[in-house]
Amino acid sequence: MRTRATHGGLLHLGVNALLLAAVILGGVSAMAQEQAQAKPPTPVAVRCGWLLDVRTGKLAAGQVIVVEPPKITAIIPASAYQPAAGATLVDLSKATCLPGLMDMHTHLIDGADGEYDPARPLRRTGAQMALGAIPHAKATLLAGFTTVRDVGTFRAFVDVALRDAVDAGIVSGPHIVPAGAYVTISGGAGALTGYAPDIELPLELRYGVADGPDKVRERVREIIRHGAGVIKVLATGAVLTRHSQPGSQEFTEEELRAAVEEANKAGLRVACHAHAPAGIKAAVRAGVNSIEHGSFLDEEAMQMMKQHGTFLVPDLYDDEVILANMSYPAEYREKEKAAGERQREGVRRALQLNVKIAFGTDAAVIPHGDNGKQFNSYVKLGMSPLFAIQTATINAAELLGWSDRVGAIEPGKLADVIAVEGDPLKNVRLLENVQFVMKDGAVYKNTFAAR
């Protein structure tokens, strides 16, 4: 988290809250029926006017994506396609189809609505956080982002409960890889700060706080045990944390290595919030999979990342969102001015060096559903439209370790497909208004059908 850390409530509380939300919104049975109606019968044929190969940038005209939910079974030229008995045809013959997009840095449990309130996590129960996350998940999916990595909540494990509710069909949302809780030092970038020293927070609001390698191991093991899909560590200070300095290192290399070792033993990857060069280098040496933000990257850090294959996940669009939000304290906006400019310089150099880059927005710092606006920020910085799209497809899939299931429209992968009217390689801003969304072979949005 560039800025704010966002934790989630105890797992049983989050699950109960999400079930309660389903009841409030019309009943679990009604929602289950709605989900069933959203899924077209098997097989499905998606007829695309053009199909973008995100690996090569080639646009193939007149292609049919054959789907047996939840997977793609074939890609066939429209001229050669013979409809199977009972097949449902989805006509996107005037649209360009591409893989579902992926955001590697979201905070679905938090939101950017209203004025900034530093005490907001203390004013909201786990149930309120869970209820509020439901529209965030839906907005993200309808924006064309069919997979996200959710990298922290202030109240532990609400994000895990949200993932489970989405997977169970209780609520609509993308595939979610949740962090469960921030792993951070006491009073660090991922901790709730600013309250009186004699106040002790309940465990769920400080679940990932750890000092020393042994404590880090303990916390990471517990977070994994409660269902996390990725481990999030914070190696440096933050922009949107009170009295925190983005340029200062927090976790030591030994503490970071302890987190990586425990995560890797469980088959999980590690995302590392890091702005400052010393923290970035310690994290890379410790073996993290991605550096989130990387605002003050220096040449040595970038060379190390290239050598180790460490991904950079740069959140660029939120810079203008933060600077425009006058409800933020002056401290935050001053830190953002310094971090944002240096971050842009670093990303330009990372592009020259061919450092691996994956797409991440830090939503909820930006409104959920505005994720696609970052593509233009990437292109303005020097990425080609194709490379910007690759950061949110094949690159993100590689970072997740999910290249076998998402990131491209290919037989055997999940049927996560989006479509826009026009050529996103000529105008990447088309991805700010995705008009068709399919996830796992189920259609969640199709404005072409209404014409």
Q: Is 295 in the same domain as 370?
A: yes
- State the total domains in the chain: 2
Residues 118 and 246 in one domain: yes
CB 48 within 8 A of CB 66: no
- Residue 42 belongs to a domain: yes
**Does residue 208 sit in the same domain as residue 343?**
yes
Could you tell me the two tokens for 288? 């993290």
In sign, the C-alpha dihedral spanning 409, 420, 439, 355 is positive
Q: Are residues 292 and 417 in the same domain?
A: no
Low-confidence residues of the chain: pLDDT under 50: 1, 3-15, 19, 21-37, 40
Cβ atoms of residues 148 and 109 within 8 Å: no
The candidate with the shortest Cα–Cα distance to 183, out of 221, 127, 126, is 221
Q: Give Cα 111 distance to the centre of its chain.
A: 14
433 domain residue, yes or no:
yes
For residue 77, the domain's CATH number is: 2.30.40.10
Helical residues (DSSP H) of 248-316, grouped into ranges = 253-265, 277-286, 299-308
The answer as to whether 316 is a domain residue is: yes
12 in a structural domain: no
- Residues 6+ away with beta carbon under 8 Å from 199: none
On whether the CB atoms of residues 172 and 31 are closer than 8 A, the answer is: no
- 61 lies in which domain range? 38-99+408-450
Kindly state whether residues 83 and 208 are assigned to the same domain.
Answer: no
215: Cα within 13 Å, side-chain hemisphere: 12
- Same domain assignment for residues 270 and 233: yes
Do 94 and 215 fall within a single domain?
no
Residues, the chain: 451
For residue 151, the domain's CATH number is 3.20.20.140
**β partners of residue 272:** 233, 291
| 33 found inside a domain | no
Q: How far is CA 424 from CA 52, 55, 56, 85, 420, in A?
A: 9, 14, 14, 34, 8
Can you give the pLDDT at residue 26? Answer: 38
Instruction: Return the pLDDT at 11.
Output: 43
In-domain check, residue 3: no
Does residue 25 lie in a domain region?
no
Asked whether residue 423 falls in the same domain as residue 323, the answer is: no
Q: Is 19 contained in some domain?
A: no
Q: 36 to each of 21, 39, 341, 424, 450, how far by Cα in Å?
A: 18, 5, 47, 31, 21
Task: Tell me 414's DSSP state.
Answer: B
pLDDT the model gives residue 167: 98
